[in-house]
Chains A and B, each alone.
Chain A
């Protein structure tokens, strides 16, 4: 078991009333899963993904990641945990505009204090694997959307995480680019990487092994 959520709830107060963003979520992920979270706008998909990614907290329930209970951890330990095991892929890529492709890939390694030669080797590996060696000195603005997302995935993967969280990874792409990205996810999954994606697209869910449907904060 990679992670497990028990009775997770999250709410905000609005006009004196509790408004549930998530209610009683029970959810588990095994290593090697490829899970798609679906649901209409405002159903809590992104909130759930953020909680799994430990970017956001929750008000009630238990969350354990690799048998560590996340809800009891201090902020700093939690950050260490997700830095080590989780990679993020975003709808709008979120590459740093001021850095080249190569430098963007290198950044997570810098924060992990990995030495220069090893860093170079890892970056070269990744460039090679995604077939973007020729683009390594370009800036994000010089790439197409699909290429940018490719770099985004490569960056998420470079520190060899156990889990990749992707928030509508193809939302800003045209259908052909979207398919290419999903193919890559599929391939990664086959190599053993666990993936959780939030998506609107029925087509994308076909690549996954399991679908979670959310409506108004609850799993249906």
Chain B
């Protein structure tokens, strides 16, 4: 019997080539999408699962006490770990990591300066780090690798970068210091490359004991927030109790910091805000909303995971519906078989089994194709999504194979059950007598399914349009500064005093109109602190601050509303500040139109109430975007580069920014020569410094990298969903053409024109798509509205986008059914009417 089933399924498959093709194509596209999305989601949710003691590891987050936002902050000062060790014996171990920013390193034995690499993923970690986290060791001892000062644990890839095939153990590696001299470290361990799905990504870990001296002096600090603090709790610890218990730590331990550093008692400093400590389980770190970033590696986007899971499931629905639609649409052909089989002795169960077997075979065949297609398209997807997903290793896993088989069975039964029950319910005398009226009973359901498919597709189209519109909108925003043609040269801090030499050279170059030095360049101005209008009663407010010089403000092309820029000839300007409009407003000094009556110029801002700390306001600039345009412009205080009243947490990176004369650089080759010239000049000053550059407009683009990535992925899946929906529509149209051919023939005999028939025929489907548009629009509106909430500057939700999407959908519908329409409208009625 089974052989008979297979035979008839196989021959049907061969005979009905169009049906088979549509079905397999739809299923394959759907399953491939589903696999790729599944791989992506699996990868995202399995971060940090490979640590042996992973379920007992927690990251310690704290309230962001320095600012107004209420999110958790993933970084702590050095003292948090000290306090936990002292006051919370529930912790078996507490370990710290410290980010020092990128460092330039070289292999000491190689004298060539070309052998320098910039290490972005270099951190310091405490001695017990590898007793908490189980990163795989190739050489060295996890217990002692980070014990001695000046030790480095490096990954295999890093080892081959510096040492090739030679054994790196015990070999020296040098790290460049800010004064241009080199510290010599010793390689103490070689680790396997850090797995991609780890939230901590490092190439090199230095021993925290390297900075022992500094750490001993500042171990009491809660302000030096470069640390990541991780705790391993003892087995059976009640986390809720522990969390409650450690809330006593900040008042007890942080008071020293507020008193010594900010000259304020703890209560006054926190000003009613709770300084809390949070315990975040290791497995939740990567996909957490808050904190949504940290210094030691990537942070996932839980919204993307939810969005793509939803799209994956929807696409699976779409292709399953497609299968049902095409199968039941073909029922007039299959009904005869059902009738004969019933008369010859088959009961309904057997027919159901046969049809479910058929759909399962279709799904199985499509799944095989989808596995191949997934493997083929994965590298493309990885490039777009910036991921390193791989499929083959998973396919080798018996659990995964089991899941795929289960998937085939579920999808096969789900897609096959409706057609099976539907087809097997036919009464033999009706089907055999050719009384096929009852065969069309499922029409409303089928139409409903097509409406459902198109609703999803159209909603996706509208969303994709708005994502593009928003991205275009943000990149064309008026930023308040001129972002084009600004070249930024990095690593200037390593030049030290010789930075001025390079600056002078650039200034002498006619290709540049302005050159300026700065410690931060939009859109990467991050640092901030609490400032106040000088005076005892004034509240401290969180400001973003940036150190720079007057020339830099000229490079940016900022507009001064009031006052003046820093003047290099006036020594007192060292303690002057330039504010933006927003800063003036939050300090309570009025808006632009009140400046004439009560000018902010000459007033003072300060960090404390000490009068020695006050800084005079020199000028006010128009608001400009100094961070990503996702955020509104906040208060900004621009400090003079030499200002030593504001604590300078480990002098940061310095840049030279130069505005290109757009007339001077006509083509990319000119630009290339120009940049190479600068590289040579920098090498002349100090050949051991890496030459790196970027352009400001590109940096602004980069802040939307993840949105752009999402947009691309969304576009792809929107197109796929649309293709699947169109396949379903095509099948339905083919079915309808077959069913209505007699009606259309009669109409033609009675005098209808081809165009009238075409209109009549296609209106059946246009109607369905119209309904879908009506359903999809409010859904899309809600989704878009929700997504736009993340942006400070939102593109308006214009009605024309909906109209364009609607027109697109209708055009696509007409094109899809056009072939069937013409076929139906143009056949000679004699052919159809005679065969009845």
Instruction: List A residues at the B interface (Cβ < 8 Å).
Output: 46, 50, 55-56, 76, 79, 83, 88, 90, 92, 94-99, 103, 106-108, 110-112, 155
Contacts and interface: CB of A to CB of B under 8 A. Distances in A.
A52 to B, nearest CB: 12
B428 A98 contact: no
B345 A103 contact: no
B1 A98 contact: no
Interface of B is mostly: helix
A54 B786 CA distance: 62
Contacts of A56: 429
A79 B347 contact: yes
B260 interface: no
Interface stretch (B67-75, B134-142, B279-287, B332-340): B332-340
Given A83-B344, A94-B432, A99-B11, 12 more contacts: A55-B427, A55-B429, A94-B336, A94-B343, A95-B340, A96-B8, A98-B7, A106-B4, A107-B341, A108-B344, A108-B345, A112-B345
B438 to A, nearest CB: 14
A79 B432 CA distance: 17
B166 interface: no
B827 interface: no
Contacts of B427: 55
Contact of B339 (A50, A94, A103, A155): A94
B814 to A, nearest CB: 34
B17 interface: no
Nearest to A112: B345
Nearest to B343: A88
B15 A107 contact: no
A169 to B, nearest CB: 14
17 contacts: A46-B433, A55-B428, A55-B429, A79-B347, A83-B345, A94-B336, A94-B343, A96-B8, A99-B4, A99-B7, A99-B8, A99-B11, A103-B4, A103-B7, A110-B1, A111-B341, A111-B346
Nearest to B340: A94
A92 B339 CA distance: 13
B144 interface: no
B429 A50 contact: yes
Contacts of A111: 341, 344-346, 350
Given A83-B345, A98-B15, A107 B4 contact: yes
B263 interface: no
Interface string B677-704: 0000000000000000000000000000
B12 interface: yes
Contacts of A92: 434
A90 B15 contact: no
Interface in B333-375: 336-337, 339-341, 343-347, 350
Residue in A46, A76, A88 whose Cβ sees the most chain B Cβ within 10 Å: A88
A140 to B, nearest CB: 11
A76 B349 CA distance: 12
Contacts of A95: 340
Nearest to B1: A110
Residue in A55, A79, A108, A112 whose Cβ sees the most chain B Cβ within 10 Å: A55
Contact of B337 (A55, A83, A96, A108): A96
Contacts, number: 53
A54 to B, nearest CB: 10
Nearest to A158: B344
Residue in B8, B344, B347 whose Cβ sees the most chain A Cβ within 10 Å: B344
B565 to A, nearest CB: 87
B13 to A, nearest CB: 10
Interface string B417-446: 000000000011100111000000000000
Contacts of A76: 347
B12 A55 contact: no
B260 to A, nearest CB: 89
Shortest Cβ-Cβ A-B pairs, 6 listed: A111-B345, A98-B11, A83-B345, A108-B344, A55-B429, A98-B8
Contacts of A98: 7-8, 11-12, 15, 337
Contacts of B428: 55
B8 A90 contact: no
Given A55-B428, A103-B7, A96 B340 contact: yes
B60 to A, nearest CB: 69
A135 B428 CA distance: 28
A134 B451 CA distance: 52
Interface in B232-284: none
A172 to B, nearest CB: 12
Interface string B1-29: 10010011001100100000000000000
Residue in B340, B428, B433 whose Cβ sees the most chain A Cβ within 10 Å: B340
A145 B12 CA distance: 22
Nearest to B5: A110
Given A98-B12, A99-B8, A107 B344 contact: yes
Given A46-B433, A107-B4, A55 B343 contact: yes
A47 to B, nearest CB: 9
A210 B181 CA distance: 120
Contacts of B15: 97-98
A98 B5 CA distance: 11
Contacts of B339: 94
A110 B429 CA distance: 22
Nearest to A47: B429
Contacts of B337: 96, 98
A119 to B, nearest CB: 11
Contacts of B336: 94
A92 B8 CA distance: 21
Interface in B651-688: none
A198 to B, nearest CB: 12
Nearest to B12: A98
B698 to A, nearest CB: 62
A211 B411 CA distance: 56
Nearest to B344: A108
Contacts of A112: 345
A88 B427 CA distance: 15
A97 B340 CA distance: 11
Interface in B1-59: 1, 4, 7-8, 11-12, 15
A110 B433 contact: no
A92 B350 CA distance: 25
Contacts of A94: 336, 339-340, 343, 432
A112 B427 CA distance: 21
